[in-house]
């Protein structure tokens, strides 16, 4: 679906007014017109004919291009025409997630299948080949330009380098919400709605005090889960705020049997953990409960906002939701292929399926 107008054009200055000497870029036209860079590319190319773009949006793009003095870059056009049907995949992890037990591996399965169906080959990049602090540096990231476009995945990404790529018009898609970087296309899971559904389930079982245990991390996936958790508490009329969220730098150190018993003494009967690459919060809660001699769901209920670590597959299936990793990988490839082709595409948030599990039940009766 082609992007519809989001907001009116912002007032800007012409190149003469700013004294600039560099060539205006499509990213600047997009910002001035209030649309995505993909929409600008579609309007300004021959492919605009027959596309589902409103006349109002088309005119705003043309007006913005005219006011900036934008003209197509011949070199960029020649490069765009010389595609080699290669899509890059860059992972910001110590090693590329080819191990089937890695939480990112299912994403790659969806990426590979969709790329093959569309006639693309994949080039796999990883910061580990550049080593340590250089993993996200300009030298490492510039290698992805060997491909026609690149898909990035990871909780923490180098915003400055990705911003430069977007400004250059290089097709980039991030697998996971990244709204903090204007112009960056992304595909993500609807963690807010899914987390709220988990809270509603716990409330329906009779729980009135619930605590979220999460790592001290401001990655969008973490903030989305917390937002959904708190919204779920509010909708159920349950206590929220800072007392309902426990952020810790090291869950293994901070979530202890003593801490768990203290929460229970305060009336907390259910705990929710966020899913991360390490599964640290979930592991810490399970370990603390076992060491305290508490049964689940007899003495307390536990829920997981995501899928359990693969090495804990033998444990009881936790209540929570499943992240549609295959579907997300495929959706990211569809969006990247559209950007490479100079077309506009919008992928909605992908829904997560609720998982009843076996780790939640009614709260224990109070003596």
* Sequential DSSP letters for 198-246: HHHHHHHTT---EEEEEES---HHHHHHHHHHHHHHHHHT---SGGGEE
- The predicted model gives 150-161 an average pLDDT of 81
Bigger pLDDT: 318 or 65?
A: 318
Q: What pLDDT sits at residue 139?
A: 63
Q: What pLDDT sits at residue 97?
A: 60
Q: What pLDDT sits at residue 86?
A: 92
Q: What pLDDT sits at residue 366?
A: 67
Q: What pLDDT sits at residue 268?
A: 97
How confident is the prediction for the chain on average, in pLDDT? 82
User: What does the pLDDT look like over 10-60, one tens digit per residue?
Assistant: 333 333 334 444 567 778 888 898 887 777 777 876 554 444 577 888 889
Q: What pLDDT sits at residue 101?
A: 57
Q: What pLDDT sits at residue 207?
A: 98
Q: What pLDDT sits at residue 31?
A: 87
Can you tell me the distance from the alpha carbon of 200 to that of 60, in angstroms, rounded to the nearest whole number?
A: 44
Q: In degrees rounded to 5, what are phi and psi of residue 20?
A: -75, 155
Which spans in the chain are helix H? 15-18, 26-33, 37-44, 55-68, 74-81, 105-117, 138-142, 159-168, 191-204, 220-236, 251-254, 257-265, 280-291, 325-340
């Amino acid at each position: 679906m082609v992007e519809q107008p989001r907001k009116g054009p912002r007032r800007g200055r012409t190149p003469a007014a700013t004294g600039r000497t560099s060539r205006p870029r499509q990213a600047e036209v997009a910002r001035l017109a209030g649309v995505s860079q993909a929409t600008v590319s579609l309007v300004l190319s021959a492919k605009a004919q027959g596309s589902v773009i409103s006349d109002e949006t088309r005119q705003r793009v043309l007006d913005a291009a005219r006011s900036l003095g934008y003209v197509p870059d011949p070199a960029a056009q020649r490069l765009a025409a010389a595609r080699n049907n290669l899509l890059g995949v860059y992972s910001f992890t110590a090693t590329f997630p080819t191990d089937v037990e890695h939480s990112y591996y299912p994403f790659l399965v969806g990426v590979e299948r969709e790329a093959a169906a569309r006639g693309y080959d994949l080039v796999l990049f990883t910061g580990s080949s550049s080593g340590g602090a250089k993993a996200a540096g300009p030298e490492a990231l510039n290698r992805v330009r060997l491909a026609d476009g690149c898909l990035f995945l990871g909780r923490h990404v180098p915003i400055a380098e990705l911003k430069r790529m977007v400004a250059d018009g290089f097709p980039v898609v991030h697998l996971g919400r990244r709204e903090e970087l204007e112009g960056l296309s992304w595909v993500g899971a609807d963690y807010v709605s899914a987390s709220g559904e988990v809270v509603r389930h716990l409330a329906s079982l009779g729980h009135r005090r619930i605590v979220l245990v999460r790592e001290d991390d401001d990655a969008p996936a973490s903030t989305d889960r917390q937002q959904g958790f708190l919204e779920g508490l509010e909708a159920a009329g349950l206590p929220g705020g800072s007392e309902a969220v426990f952020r810790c730098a090291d869950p293994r150190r901070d979530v202890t049997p003593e801490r768990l018993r203290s929460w229970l003494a305060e009336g907390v009967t259910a705990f929710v953990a966020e899913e991360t690459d390490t599964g640290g919060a979930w592991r810490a809660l399970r370990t603390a409960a076992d060491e305290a001699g508490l049964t689940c769901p007899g003495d307390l209920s536990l829920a997981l906002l995501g899928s359990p670590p693969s090495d804990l597959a033998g444990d009881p299936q936790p209540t929570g939701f499943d992240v549609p990793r295959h579907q997300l990988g495929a959706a990211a490839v569809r969006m990247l292929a559209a950007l490479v082709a100079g077309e506009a595409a919008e992928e909605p948030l992908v829904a997560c399926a609720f998982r009843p599990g076996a780790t939640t039940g009614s709260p224990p009766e109070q003596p």
